[in-house]
Amino acid sequence: MKEARNAMRAAISDRDRMWREVEVRIFSRQRPSRK
C-alpha cells in the first residue's frame, strides 16, 4: 500500500513538473523578447 502511494505521488510530481515546463515555455513564448 505504501509503495503504491509513493508511486502515485512520484507520478503526480512528474506530471506537475512536465506541466510547469510547458507553462514556462508558453509564457516565455508569449512574453515579448527584449534581445
Question: Looking at residues 10-31, what average pLDDT do you find?
Answer: 89
Question: CA–CA separation, 26 vs 20, rounded Å?
Answer: 10
Question: pTM (2 decimals)?
Answer: 0.46
Give Cα separations from 7 to 15, 16, 24, 32 (angstroms): 12, 14, 26, 39
Predicted pLDDT of residue 13: 93
Predicted pLDDT of residue 18: 94
Place of cell 509513493: 6
DSSP secondary structure letters along 15-27: HHHHHHHHHHHHH
